[in-house]
């Protein structure tokens, strides 16, 4: 089912009821509903950081993991506001993980890991493309497809910093230049046009900085399956850009 | 990986959904009807022709030459896809450097790139 705004699709109480009954789709919708809260808390703590050990991407990742844990542990029948319950969980998840961050600096950074799994995912992107460019053949066409899909991934990378959010004070100029910025904004806008599954994977991965393994847990599927959906999402995003090409996005 | 064939009915269904969603966004006012210059997609000169012309002066026998050729390849592809306007963007150089370097860091991709560059 396609819906650009799934968080508004159902009343919250019914989502909790469905989740309690084991509905995985309701779980995903609950998590998505509170992603803006996550971003706000991550931004707030990031804005008050005293060291630059970790990047904003790390704060967002820990915040989202805290949110997932909060959703899984919340008892909606007690009448407590989920916002209140989740805020403490999210703050705790960020602070606990960031506190340990310097101990794990020798490990590969999150950004590097995300990039690596993206590249693995798109390696066969060319196979997903229809033969629409008869003039370019064989390996050249395949490699060109990979280069374009890889560029789309690059442009989406870090877009979580620029996505609509509650606290704009920490916004940084990701691209000071107009052309790339406009292209990136168009792509971010077109993410909402993707089919439901592909849109959710892109948002979790690029806007919330979740690794494929973490998204796989939310979806209840394997990491390999998420990798496939990610690849297909970028292929479709390219097609969406071609369909809507030349149009302004008013975001 | 699941190779998606050109006649994959799942992908066809997703493409249909994509087109419907774009139309929905357009009707919701998220997409303007005009404003940006048409993208020079599919330029008169074919991509392979552009690549041969641009790569011919480059010495592709050394690692440095192959890295420079990869960057030229990525630049030509992205300009063909997204438009000539990218070239005047000061951030485009950094983007090219990052994309081409990361592609060459992967052994499998590097091997395919080198094979393609040798054939051009």
User: Taking a C-beta distance cutoff of 8 angstroms, is the pair A197, A53 a contact?
Assistant: no
Residue B40 CB coordination number (10 Å): 14
| Contact between chains at A244 and B92 (C-beta distance less than 8 A) | no
Between residues A207 and B28, which one has the greater pLDDT? A207
Q: Where are the domains of chain A?
A: 6-104, 110-243
Query: Residue A119: which residues within 8 A CB-CB, separation 6 or more?
Result: A150, B102, B103, B106, B109
The parts of chain A modelled with pLDDT lower than 70 are 1-10, 101-109, 124-136, 158-177, 245-251
Please state the φ and ψ torsions of residue A248, each to the nearest 5 degrees.
-80, 140
Query: A48-58: per-residue pLDDT in tens?
Result: 887 777 888 88
> How close, in Å, is residue A43 to chain B by CA atoms?
26
Query: Residue B15: which residues within 8 A CB-CB, separation 6 or more?
Result: A236, A239
Regarding pTM above 0.80, the answer is no
Q: Residues B72, B18: one domain?
A: no
Residue B117 and residue B5: Cα distance in Å, rounded? 26
The answer to the question of residue B13 being in a domain is yes
Please tell me if residue B92 touches chain A, with a CB cutoff of 8 Å: yes
Please tell me if residue B27 touches chain A, with a CB cutoff of 8 Å: no
Q: Which CATH class is domain A110-243?
A: mainly alpha
Domain range for B96 is 47-119
The answer to the question of residue B94 being in a domain is yes
Question: In chain B, pLDDT over 90 holds for what percent of residues?
Answer: 35
Nearest to A179 among B31, B49, B89 (CB): B89
The pLDDT, as a whole number, for residue B39 is 45
* A6-104 and A110-243 in the same fold: no
Q: Which fold has domain A6-104?
A: 1.20.120
Nearest chain B residue to A177, by CA = B89
- Of A236, A220, A237, A121, give the one whose Cα is nearest residue B8: A236
Between residues B89 and A106, which one has the greater pLDDT? B89
> How close, in Å, is residue A50 to chain B by CA atoms?
29
Residue B62 and residue B17: Cα distance in Å, rounded? 47
């Amino acid at each position: 089912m396609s819906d650009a705004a799934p968080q508004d699709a159902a009343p919250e109480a019914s989502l909790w009821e469905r989740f309690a009954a084991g509905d995985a789709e309701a779980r995903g919708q609950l998590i998505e509903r509170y992603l803006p809260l996550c971003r706000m808390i991550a931004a707030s703590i990031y804005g008050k950081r005293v060291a630059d050990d970790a990047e904003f991407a790390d704060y967002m990742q820990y915040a989202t993991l805290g949110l997932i844990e909060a959703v899984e542990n919340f008892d909606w029948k007690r009448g407590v506001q989920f916002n209140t319950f989740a805020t403490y969980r999210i703050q705790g998840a960020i602070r606990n993980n960031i506190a340990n961050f310097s101990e794990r600096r020798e490990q590969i950074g999150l950004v590097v890991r995300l990039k690596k799994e993206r590249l693995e995912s798109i390696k066969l992107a060319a196979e997903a493309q229809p033969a629409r460019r008869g003039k370019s053949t064989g390996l050249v066409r395949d490699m060109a497809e990979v280069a374009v899909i890889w560029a789309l991934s690059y442009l989406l990378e870090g877009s979580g910093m620029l996505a609509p959010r509650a606290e704009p004070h920490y916004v940084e100029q990701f691209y000071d230049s107009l052309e790339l910025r406009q292209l990136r904004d168009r792509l971010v806008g077109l993410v909402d046009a993707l089919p439901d599954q592909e849109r959710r994977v892109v948002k979790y991965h690029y806007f919330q900085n979740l690794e494929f393994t973490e998204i796989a847990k939310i979806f209840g599927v394997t990491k390999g399956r998420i990798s496939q959906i990610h690849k297909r999402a970028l292929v479709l995003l390219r097609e969406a850009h071609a369909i809507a090409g030349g149009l302004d996005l008013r975001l | 990986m699941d190779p998606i064939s050109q006649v994959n009915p799942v992908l066809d269904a997703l493409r249909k959904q994509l087109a419907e969603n774009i139309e929905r966004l357009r009707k919701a006012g998220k997409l303007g009807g005009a404003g940006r210059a048409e993208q020079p997609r599919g330029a008169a000169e074919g991509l392979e022709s552009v690549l041969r012309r641009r790569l011919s002066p480059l010495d592709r026998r050394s690692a440095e030459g192959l890295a420079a050729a990869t960057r030229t390849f990525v630049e030509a592809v992205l300009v063909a896809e997204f438009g000539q306007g990218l070239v005047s963007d000061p951030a485009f150089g950094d983007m090219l450097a990052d994309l081409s370097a990361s592609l060459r860091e992967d052994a499998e991709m590097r091997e395919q790139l080198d094979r393609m560059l040798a054939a051009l």
